Amino acid sequence: MKVEIAKPSSFLKPLYVPQYTMLGPGPTNCHPRVMHAMSLPMISPIHDEAYQLLDEIKEGVRYILQTKYDLTMVISTSGNGAMEAAICNLAEPGETVAIAINGMWSIRAADIAEKQGTNVIRTEKTPGDVFTLDDIEQTLKEHKPVLLYLVLGESSTGTLQPMEGVGDLCHRYNCLLVLDCVPSIAVVPVYTDEWGVDVVIGSSQKGLSCPPGLAPIAFSPRAVKKIMSRKSPGPVRYFDAITLGKYWGCFGDKERLYHHTLPLSLYYALREGIALVVEEGLENVWERHRMCHKLLVDGLKKLGVDFFVKDEKLRFPGITTICLPGTDLKLVYDYILKKHSTEIGPGAGPTSGRALRIGTLGYNAKPHIVEHILKVLKDALEYAKHAQKEKILK
């Protein structure tokens, strides 16, 4: 036999990756300590050192999610995988699942729930708006879903869902509450236990400024009871919460069962990302994000931009969505990327082609970074005005 597929020549050159200031909806730039942690040596996923690492991360995640839930852990997948995991553990095929839709992520959650064979009820709100208790109660009353999927910080539109009373309301109707906090953890307050959230999901690459690929997740005792009483086994072993929980030592068992080989470098990085939050203190982390968002909004107002989310109180401080009527958004986006090596988010889902998204998450939630993006945006707006005028004259 002969090697017929030739050597790909691209591999004979080193990998080139540009350095951007990452101010989109994620990933963000990583703290140098996080990058450094990834070069630590490999260990076996069933050695004591690995279990110690998981135990520490578990305690850190409980702090960040403000939860005492036993079944708190991290799954080796990005936020999308955590969405799949939350739904596939709680809902069985044929059961009714309600999705509160006001942006791209809830649309995706509905798609996931449908692929898993559940009966999906879509409760819709205009993108840029959030759900009231009345909106939610109507759905619960009419459809009696086993779970409600709700997004806290909606990164495609920039809203922040108020949580007062939502958990109690769901439980009164015997419905479990899944809260998508993927871009919200370590950015805005997430009070898992106090809000009565039954499954909360997060991610490593947004507020925690770690590489993408890991998702903190916690299940309430109510959620565990539902999983234990399933008539059918879950569809995906990799995401099976109980099997995973045994590996993470969540049920107090002495013996821990191998589940999968951890992407260890990512876990080292996550431990460091959590350490940075612990050192600063969660309240200070939230306050830093709030303050940077305010600085950004004040500066943006001076530039005369419009905000996609009209009600200031409903804006997610991690991601600010702006509209620039009469301005070519693609021109602005490309200019900022190429001229200033700065990545912002284009619109996505309902804001696609209608808005730009500026992320001030984690490591990048700093006053000097806010000043940088304001300066860069001002320059880009002048450039776009000029370029568009030239085009008209031609």
Ligand X SMILES: *Cc1c(COP(=O)(O)O)cnc(C)c1O
Of 75 and 176, CB closest to ligand X: 75
Alpha-carbon distance 215 to 31, whole Å? 18
Residue nearest to ligand X (CB): 79
Closest CA to 148 of 217, 233, 227, 90: 90
Burial class of residue 35 in the structure, from the number of CB atoms within 10 Å of its CB (0-12 exposed, 13-18 middle, 19+ buried): middle
| Contact range with ligand X by CB under 6 A, out of 67-75, 92-100, 151-159, 270-278 | 151-159
Of 145 and 211, CB closest to ligand X: 211
Shortest gap between Cβ of 32 and ligand X (angstroms)? 22
| Pairing mode of beta strands 153-154, 159-160 | antiparallel
| Contact range with ligand X by CB under 6 A, out of 150-158, 238-246, 299-307, 309-317 | 150-158
Closest CA to 116 of 243, 200, 234: 234
Of 118 and 155, CB closest to ligand X: 155
287 Cβ contact list (under 8 Å, min separation 6): none
Tell me: does residue 212 bind ligand X (CB under 6 A). Answer: yes
Tell me: does residue 22 bind ligand X (CB under 6 A). Answer: no
Of 118, 203, 220, 351, the one binding ligand X by CB under 6 A: 203
# residues near ligand X by CB under 6 A = 14
Using alpha carbons only, what angle is made at residue 322 by residues 320 and 324, rounded to the nearest 5 degrees?
165
Of 118 and 203, CB closest to ligand X: 203
Alpha-carbon distance 261 to 49, whole Å? 14
Of 151 and 374, CB closest to ligand X: 151
Of 75 and 224, CB closest to ligand X: 75
Of 25 and 273, CB closest to ligand X: 25
Q: Tokens 């086993």, residue?
A: 146
Alpha-carbon distance 103 to 120, whole Å? 16
Dmax of the chain from CA atoms? 76
Residue 53-92 contact track with ligand X, rule CB under 6 A, x = bound:
-------------------------xxx------------
Of 87, 90, 175, 182, the one binding ligand X by CB under 6 A: 182
Report the sign of the C-alpha dihedral through residues 63, 67, 70, 73, in that order: negative
Compute φ and ψ for 100, nearest 5 degrees: -85, 105
Tell me: does residue 179 bind ligand X (CB under 6 A). Answer: no
Tell me: does residue 249 bind ligand X (CB under 6 A). Answer: no
The length of the chain, given as a count of residues: 394
Of 154 and 198, CB closest to ligand X: 154
Residues in 89-108 that interact with ligand X by CB under 6 A: 105
Alpha-carbon distance 370 to 365, whole Å? 7
Of 166 and 374, CB closest to ligand X: 166
Shortest gap between Cβ of 85 and ligand X (angstroms)? 12
Alpha-carbon distance 268 to 219, whole Å? 23
Tell me: does residue 211 bind ligand X (CB under 6 A). Answer: no
Residue 374-393 contact track with ligand X, rule CB under 6 A, x = bound:
--------------------
Compute φ and ψ for 63, nearest 5 degrees: -65, -50
Of 155, 157, 192, 220, the one binding ligand X by CB under 6 A: 155
Shortest gap between Cβ of 321 and ligand X (angstroms)? 12
Shortest gap between Cβ of 48 and ligand X (angstroms)? 30
Query: Which amino acid is located at 153 in the chain?
Result: G
Shortest gap between Cβ of 213 and ligand X (angstroms)? 8
* Helical (H) or strand (E) element with 70: none
Alpha-carbon distance 377 to 336, whole Å? 7
Alpha-carbon distance 150 to 82, whole Å? 14
Give the footprint of ligand X on this chain (CB under 6 A): 25-26, 78-80, 105, 151, 154-155, 180, 182-183, 203, 212
